[in-house]
């Protein structure tokens, strides 16, 4: 198991201006089933992306992306069928998130607050082996704000 425990783990306080961005990556190793866990605490109005990183050669085969888009509280997952709303990530409170990826079946689940979400049994095109994860304030307009990640683990 690889982890980065401790407060805050990673704090991103980014600008919401177009072109402004920050990326923090963590290298790790995943097996046939890879689980990534983190707790996220986001300020109201903040937006972020979190990606589980694989070994593919294109964006779709290299990253399984989760995000909260500007103006939304919904955690979205990028499945092969398109973007799926998993559930709310309310501002100003720590919320545990887990992504469980079965690389053999090419399926993944997202748990929010320890419970199943609308993102269960989704198809993924990310190619193993999994090599880590990243947290990002994307360069798109509106992404950014204060987002704290803690209890980071990949196993």
What is the pLDDT at residue 3? 47
Give me the pLDDT at residue 2, please: 43
**Which pLDDT does position 19 carry in this prediction?**
85
Asked, for residue 115, whether it belongs to a domain, the answer is yes
User: Cα 78 vs. chain centroid, distance in angstroms?
Assistant: 10
* CATH number of the domain that residue 142 is part of: 2.60.120.200
Domain that holds residue 38: 11-15+19-154
Any domain includes 70: yes
**Residue ranges of the chain whose pLDDT lies below 70:** 1-8
Number of domains in the chain: 1
Q: How far apart are CA 7 and CA 106, in angstroms?
A: 33
Q: Are 128 and 56 in contact (CB under 8 A)?
A: no
| Residue 6 domain-assigned (yes or no) | no
Q: Is residue 126 part of a domain?
A: yes
- Is the pTM of the predicted complex or chain greater than 0.85? yes
Distance CA 74, CA 66 (A): 10
Give domain status of residue 1, yes or no: no
Q: In what order do the strands lie in the sheet with 82-88?
A: 22-27, 132-137, 48-53, 63-68, 74-79, 82-88
Asked, for residue 107, whether it belongs to a domain, the answer is yes
The pLDDT value recorded for residue 7 is 52
- Is 61 contained in some domain? yes
pLDDT of residue 46: 96
């Amino acid at each position: 198991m690889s982890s980065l425990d401790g407060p805050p783990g990673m704090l991103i306080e980014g600008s919401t201006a177009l072109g402004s961005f920050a990326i923090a990556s963590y290298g790790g190793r995943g097996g046939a089933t890879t689980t990534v866990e983190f707790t996220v605490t986001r300020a109201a109005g903040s937006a972020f992306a979190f990606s589980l990183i694989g070994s593919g050669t294109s964006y779709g085969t290299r990253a399984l992306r989760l995000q909260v888009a500007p103006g939304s509280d919904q955690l979205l997952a990028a499945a092969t069928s398109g973007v799926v709303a998993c559930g709310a990530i309310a501002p100003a409170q720590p919320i545990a998130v887990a992504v469980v990826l079965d690389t053999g079946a090419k399926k993944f689940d997202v748990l929010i607050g320890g419970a199943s979400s609308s993102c269960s049994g989704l198809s993924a095109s990310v190619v193993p082996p999994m090599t880590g994860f990243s947290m990002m304030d994307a360069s798109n307009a509106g992404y950014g704000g204060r987002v704290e990640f803690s209890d980071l683990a990949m196993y």
